[in-house]
Amino acid sequence: AQVVQAEFVKSSVRTEDCPADGLPEFALVGRSNVGKSSLLNSLVRRKRLALTSKKPGKTQCINHFWINDSWYLVDLPGYGYAAAPQELRTDWDKFTKDYFLKRSSLVSVFLLIDASIPAKKIDLEYASWLGQNQIPMTLIFTKCDKRKKKKNGGKRPDENVGDFQELISGFFETPPPWIMTSSVTNQGRDEILLHMAQLRNY
Ligand code: GTP
Ligand code: MG
């Protein structure tokens, strides 16, 4: 399930402008700065294929990356970035949700949640929206390399992960699959790629 070929294809802001070849794809979504672009780079073993930044709001389009000649990884703008102009945020929210609802080649949304901090309201709202709209979803917990911090309530990543799953349990008929990851240690990389391969073969 390893990635041997990865190539940026295009940026779109409308679902209609996304690649039209019907290849299966997986989209990475989550709060700004949660680590979507970093995870994509970890999966393809490249440092800067998707651009990352310490500052939230780096990714602003629907970015398609062509993998192994046969499927796509899709990097999306984050939600919940308070410092971006409201107009821009509304725009991002509109076109990503339109994409989730209309994109028929979308196999699963990968919702990224920061495991180093307690659950955020906006993440719960997002999970709830995906559940309500029955968008196939996989939960990806990021930054599992980070140690617990007093100011974050002193919980370890695995404790935050358990709390989050409990909080969203009412949103889904069957609990979504979940994987713990780190783009620093590459924890979870093989598990994600195997999971994606299994989903493609259904
Ligand atoms: P936007 O495009 O702005 O929505 O952000 P993003 O979700 O793509 O986040 P990005 O990958 O740009 O990473 C944001 C910051 O988090 C960067 O400083 C990364 O180095 C850091 N980061 C990402 N993943 C990890 C991780 O697994 N562990 C740690 N410790 N830091 C991470
Ligand atoms: Mg990004």
Q: Give the tens place of pLDDT for each residue, 116-152.
A: 999 999 999 999 999 999 999 999 999 999 986 666 5
Ligand 1 atom 18 nearest Cα: 54
Closest C-alpha among 27, 68, 62 to residue 44: 68
Predicted model pTM: 0.94
pLDDT of residue 153: 62
Rounded Cα distance between 28 and 146, Å, is: 21
Over 90: is that where the pLDDT of 187 sits? Answer: yes
ipTM of the modeled complex: 0.98
Backbone torsion region of residue 196, taken as left when φ is above 0, otherwise alpha when ψ lies between -120 and 50, otherwise beta: alpha
Cβ neighbors of 40 (< 8 A, separation 6 or more) are 28, 49, 50, 65, 73, 75
CB 179 within 8 A of CB 150: no
Rounded Cα distance between 10 and 88, Å, is: 20
Which residues' Cβ are closer than 6 Å to ligand 1? 30, 32-38, 52-54, 56-59, 77-78, 142-143, 145-146, 182-184
pLDDT of residue 159: 93
Which SS3 state, helix, strand or coil, does residue 29 take? strand
Closest C-alpha among 95, 78, 100 to residue 25: 100
Taking the centre of ligand 1 as the mean of its atom positions, its distance from the CA of residue 118, in whole angstroms, is 17
- In this predicted model, what pLDDT tens digit does every residue of 100-109 receive, in sequence order? 999 999 999 9
For the chain, first and last CA: distance in Å?
15
Q: What mean pLDDT comes out for the span 24-46?
A: 95
Taking the centre of ligand 2 as the mean of its atom positions, its distance from the CA of residue 55, in whole angstroms, is 10
Pocket test for ligand 1, best of 38, 43, 74, 81 (most atoms within 8 A of CB): 38
Q: What mean pLDDT comes out for the span 32-46?
A: 94
pLDDT of residue 34: 95
pLDDT of residue 150: 62
Closest C-alpha among 4, 77, 67, 7 to residue 36: 77
* Amino acid letter, 55: K
Over 90: is that where the pLDDT of 85 sits? Answer: no
